């Protein structure tokens, strides 16, 4: 086993990117994610890579698009308002089927909002934040170790499906420090990048674009993208369950709040309540089937989010009529993070109503 390091979540994501072979980073500083560009500005030049502090977030996302079009592993990162600015570029990358990793260590909004931990970017992340009806895989780490591991996974997914991939965290996950085992990048068979534009060199012309004007061309393109999303739904769902086997109430939440819920569930168990935790790790594709099964067994699901209700919609779609769905939300703001004790109180109330 390699040494256990003690690092920030943001640093772990940057380390994971380097280990995954990312050598190109383009970004513009913004709290609470600036440790990512800070780390990469130090490391990439020595690795024969390139770090560019762009003139703006829009500049950075289009630099990512360009680097990715050559087949290189590249990434950008920002926080909520900056991610909004990148949406046009993400849409173009999705349309042109370009891989690339985008990390959002989100702030609270709308507008300029604040810098506190928040999950108010769920809709923007998973429902196609830009125009044109696309989806991109969205990963929601809940630990420093996952910031590292899932960043590496994000690069693989990006290459596997020729798609931008987003990592969605918040200031808890980005700023918290924990032990990290910086394992080597897992070996995964990935398709050759026969589409990359690196100079023709006498070979056949390759074109990377998101403009399809030919008769029926765009419709076919959209159906092909749709088919790709179906494969992702089939193959790429990741979720984690804790104490769900005999649970009568399933608590579900992603990212930072899932950590708080984990402790609340442990406390509830200590009081004799049969409560479990279901955590989606992939937000798109949403682990519908796994959640539906756990929910049907329990009969009731309590969704906890740091917003006024977003993922709860996907939970309702997943479980259908098989379980009752309750929601507890904490919209962003200073001091808005619930404590495990507060979640325990919410669990108690919901458990009473669910006992069969």
CA 79/CA 239 separation, integer angstroms: 24
Under rule CB under 8 A, residue 337 binds other proteins: yes
Under rule CB under 8 A, residue 262 binds other proteins: yes
Under rule CB under 8 A, residue 348 binds other proteins: no
Q: To the nearest whole angstrom, how small is the minimum distance from the Cβ of residue 299 to other proteins?
A: 25
Is-contact 332 118, C-beta < 8 A? yes
- Mark the segment that binds other proteins (CB under 8 A) among 18-26, 60-68, 279-287, 337-345: 337-345
Under rule CB under 8 A, residue 271 binds other proteins: no
**Is the Cα torsion angle 307, 38, 11, 66 positive or negative in sign?**
positive
Q: Which of 22, 74, 150, 176 binds other proteins (CB under 8 A)?
A: 176
> In Å, what is the CA distance from 187 to each residue of 19, 183, 234, 259?
12, 12, 22, 29
**Is the Cα torsion angle 164, 167, 170, 175 positive or negative in sign?**
negative
Cα-trace Rg, the chain = 21
Nearer to other proteins, 88 or 345 (CB): 345
Contacts of 277 (CB under 8 A, 6+ apart): 240, 241, 242, 243, 244, 250, 251, 252, 253, 258, 261, 262, 265
User: How far does Cα 356 stand from its chain's mean position?
Assistant: 36
Structure tokens given for 279: 């955590």
Is-contact 151 103, C-beta < 8 A? yes
- Mark the segment that binds other proteins (CB under 8 A) among 70-78, 211-219, 231-239, 261-269: 261-269
Number of helices followed by number of strands (H, E) in the chain: 12, 14
- Mark the segment that binds other proteins (CB under 8 A) among 53-61, 203-211, 228-236, 255-263: 255-263
Nearer to other proteins, 263 or 293 (CB): 263
Under rule CB under 8 A, residue 306 binds other proteins: no
Nearer to other proteins, 32 or 130 (CB): 32
Question: What residues pair up with 300 in beta bridges, in sequence order?
Answer: 324
Question: What residues pair up with 75 in beta bridges, in sequence order?
Answer: 25, 101
Nearer to other proteins, 75 or 306 (CB): 306
Nearer to other proteins, 179 or 190 (CB): 179
Q: Which of 38, 50, 313, 342 binds other proteins (CB under 8 A)?
A: 342
Query: What string of DSSP letters covers 58-80?
Result: HHHHHHHHHHHHTT--EEEEE-H
> In Å, what is the CA distance from 228 to each residue of 72, 201, 280?
22, 31, 20
Under rule CB under 8 A, residue 339 binds other proteins: yes
Collapsing DSSP to helix, strand or coil, 148 comes out as helix
Q: Which of 38, 50, 178, 240 binds other proteins (CB under 8 A)?
A: 178
Nearer to other proteins, 165 or 180 (CB): 180
Under rule CB under 8 A, residue 1 binds other proteins: no
Under rule CB under 8 A, residue 266 binds other proteins: yes
Q: To the nearest whole angstrom, how small is the minimum distance from the Cβ of residue 338 to other proteins?
A: 8
Q: To the nearest whole angstrom, how small is the minimum distance from the Cβ of residue 97 to other proteins?
A: 38
Nearer to other proteins, 179 or 220 (CB): 179
Is-contact 2 28, C-beta < 8 A? no
Under rule CB under 8 A, residue 317 binds other proteins: no
Nearer to other proteins, 276 or 340 (CB): 340
Residues 4-63 touching other proteins, rule: CB under 8 A, are 4, 6
Binding interface with other proteins (CB under 8 A): 4, 6, 172, 175-179, 259-260, 262-264, 266, 337-342
């Amino acid at each position: 086993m390699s040494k256990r390091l003690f690092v920030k979540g943001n640093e772990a994501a940057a380390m994971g990117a380097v280990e995954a072979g990312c050598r190109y980073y383009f970004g513009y500083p913004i709290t609470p994610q600036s440790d990512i560009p800070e780390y990469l500005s130090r490391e990439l030049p020595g690795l024969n890579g390139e770090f560019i502090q762009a003139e703006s977030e829009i500049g950075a996302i289009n630099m990512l698009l360009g680097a990715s079009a050559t087949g290189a592993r590249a990434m950008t990162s920002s926080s909520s308002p900056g991610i909004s600015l990148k949406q046009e570029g993400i849409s173009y990358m999705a349309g042109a089927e370009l891989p690339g990793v985008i990390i959002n260590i989100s702030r609270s909004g709308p507008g300029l909002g604040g810098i506190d931990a928040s999950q108010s970017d769920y809709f923007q992340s998973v429902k196609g934040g830009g125009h044109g009806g696309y989806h991109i895989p969205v990963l929601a780490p809940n630990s420093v170790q996952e910031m590292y591991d899932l960043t590496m996974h994000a690069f693989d997914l990006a290459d596997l499906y020729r798609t931008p991939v987003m990592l969605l965290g918040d200031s808890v996950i980005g700023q918290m420090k924990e032990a990290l085992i910086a394992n080597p990048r897992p070996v995964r068979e990935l398709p050759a990048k026969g589409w990359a534009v690196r100079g023709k060199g006498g070979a056949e012309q390759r074109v990377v674009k998101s403009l399809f004007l030919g008769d029926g061309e765009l419709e076919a393109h959209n159906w092909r993208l749709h088919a790709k999303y179906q494969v992702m739904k089939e193959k790429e769902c990741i979720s984690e369950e804790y104490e769900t086997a005999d649970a009568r109430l399933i608590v579900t939440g992603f990212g930072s709040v899932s950590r708080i819920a984990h402790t609340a569930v442990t406390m509830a168990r200590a009081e004799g309540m049969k409560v479990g935790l279901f955590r989606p790790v992939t937000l798109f594709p949403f682990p519908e089937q796994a959640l539906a099964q756990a929910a049907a067994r329990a009969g009731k699901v309590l969704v906890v989010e740091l917003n006024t209700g977003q993922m709860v919609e996907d939970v309702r779609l997943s479980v259908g009529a098989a379980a009752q769905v309750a929601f507890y939300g904490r919209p962003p703001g200073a001091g808005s993070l619930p404590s495990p004790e507060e979640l325990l109180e919410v669990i108690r109330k919901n458990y009473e109503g669910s006992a069969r």
